[in-house]
């Protein structure tokens, strides 16, 4: 039976009706808010390529974390940017490294807020790669103990979740084992499982000062043409002990989010990355689009594709509108 009996427009006649039948809703509890912490005092340095995003020293990170919590956002994702970088990324796993200090301060100020530590070496190495080098090549197995050590120091500083973003093979198992050995059996791992080698990370590399000094990340991050490989990567992470799984970036990878959602039972996280954020901001600043409207549409569509949680720089702005 079709028209004139069926008229789908009947349910679109008023805002109240549309609201009643909406299938996908957003809430502040869907969001994870990324923060970039730097050393020094009273630093609040704008990132030119990410309007509204800042490099923050610890006390400003704490203030921003409080604002997120007050708006009902349950968690923040921390990236540390040390003053000292070296070939081994030693500040990544130092007990009093910048990210470990920020974790301690946030947990002391807002204990209910969940602090997620991004675990990767790229912000900490002088060459900007996500692992240590051997013969000009990112060495997988030599990197694993360093990622494990970073995870342990972050968990001991009070991190509630450990989120490895490096894409080394076997890192989830290595991190799980290291956490368990220090009796951190209750700390979950959020695995960047399907992380693509993407041009959409451009602005992040300014924010995190983590651009590779030679070559690129295609030798460890995934090729944008692949989706079966995303399922394989995710299956390996689940087997190794991941508690949450992630697809990154989000917008060009909606089919991957859907495929991962259908295949696995774990909570699925999508990372609405820096380039996706900055494109909206740039177009809105030019008056070409309605930035707030695009933001809400994008966040809704990422949830509709199958993500339970969204890591987004829009978190505060979007939570204010909800
Ligand atoms: C690596 C990491 C990156 C992002 C999150 N973790 C950058 C990269 O892989 O080059 C990108 C996030 C974004 O673009 O918003 N530690």
| 87-97 confidence digits (pLDDT tens) | 999 999 999 99
pLDDT of residue 87: 96
Residue 122: CB within 6 Å of ligand 1? yes
Report whether 116 contacts 77 (CB < 8 A): yes
pLDDT of residue 129: 95
Ligand 1 midpoint to CA 123 (Å):
9
pLDDT of residue 186: 98
Pocket mutation for ligand 1, best pick of 82, 201, 219 (most atoms within 8 Å of C-beta) = 201
Q: Which of 85, 107, 195, 281 is catalytic?
A: 195
Locate 47 and state its tokens: 């990132």
Mean pLDDT of 206-230: 94
Ligand 1 midpoint to CA 7 (Å):
46
pLDDT of residue 162: 98
* Apex 236 CA angle, 235 and 242, nearest 5: 85
Distance CA 100, CA 119 (A): 11
| Nearest residue by C-alpha to atom 2 in ligand 1 | 165
Is a pLDDT exceeding 90 seen at residue 1? no
Alpha helices in the chain (DSSP H): 15-21, 58-70, 98-109, 140-157, 171-181, 202-207, 228-240, 254-263, 274-285, 291-305, 315-321
* Catalytic residue status for 195: yes
Lowest average pLDDT, out of 60-69, 128-137, 264-273, goes to 128-137
Residue 204: CB within 6 Å of ligand 1? yes
Which CATH class, in words, describes the domain spanning 25-321? alpha beta
The domain locations on the chain are 25-321
Over residues 265-299, the pLDDT tens digits come to 999 999 999 999 999 999 999 999 999 999 999 99
Ligand 1 midpoint to CA 96 (Å):
23
Residue 86 banded pLDDT, cuts 50, 70, 90: very high
Locate 291 and state its tokens: 């930035």
């Amino acid at each position: 039976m079709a028209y004139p009996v069926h008229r789908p427009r009947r349910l679109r006649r008023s805002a109240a009706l549309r609201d009643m039948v909406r299938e996908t809703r957003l809430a502040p509890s869907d969001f994870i808010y990324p923060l970039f912490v730097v050393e020094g005092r009273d630093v609040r340095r704008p990132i030119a390529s990410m309007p509204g995003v800042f490099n923050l020293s610890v006390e400003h990170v704490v203030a921003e974390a409080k604002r997120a919590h007050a708006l009902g956002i349950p968690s923040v994702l921390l990236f540390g940017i040390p003053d000292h970088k070296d070939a081994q990324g030693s500040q990544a796993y130092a007990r009093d490294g910048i990210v470990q200090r920020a974790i301690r301060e946030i947990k002391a100020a807002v204990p209910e807020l969940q602090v997620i530590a991004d675990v990767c070496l790229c912000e900490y190495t002088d060459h900007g790669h996500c692992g240590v080098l051997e013969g000009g090549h990112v060495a997988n197995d030599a990197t694993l103990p360093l990622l494990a050590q970073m995870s342990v120091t972050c968990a001991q500083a009070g991190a509630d979740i450990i989120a490895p973003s490096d894409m080394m093979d076997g890192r989830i198992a290595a991190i799980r084992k290291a956490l368990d050995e220090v009796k951190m059996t209750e700390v979950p791992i959020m695995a960047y499982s399907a992380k693509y080698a993407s041009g959409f990370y451009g602005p992040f590399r300014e924010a995190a000062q983590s651009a590779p000094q030679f070559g690129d990340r295609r030798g460890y991050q995934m090729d944008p043409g692949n989706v079966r490989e995303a399922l394989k990567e995710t299956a390996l992470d689940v087997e190794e002990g991941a508690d949450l799984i992630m697809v990154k970036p989000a917008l060009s990878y909606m089919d991957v989010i859907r495929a991962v959602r259908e295949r696995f039972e774990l909570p699925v996280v999508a990372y609405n990355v820096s380039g996706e954020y900055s494109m909206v901001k740039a177009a809105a600043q030019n008056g070409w689009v309605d930035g707030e409207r695009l933001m809400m549409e994008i966040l809704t569509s990422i949830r509709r594709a199958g993500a339970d949680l969204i890591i987004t720089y829009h978190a505060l702005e979007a939570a204010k509108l909800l």
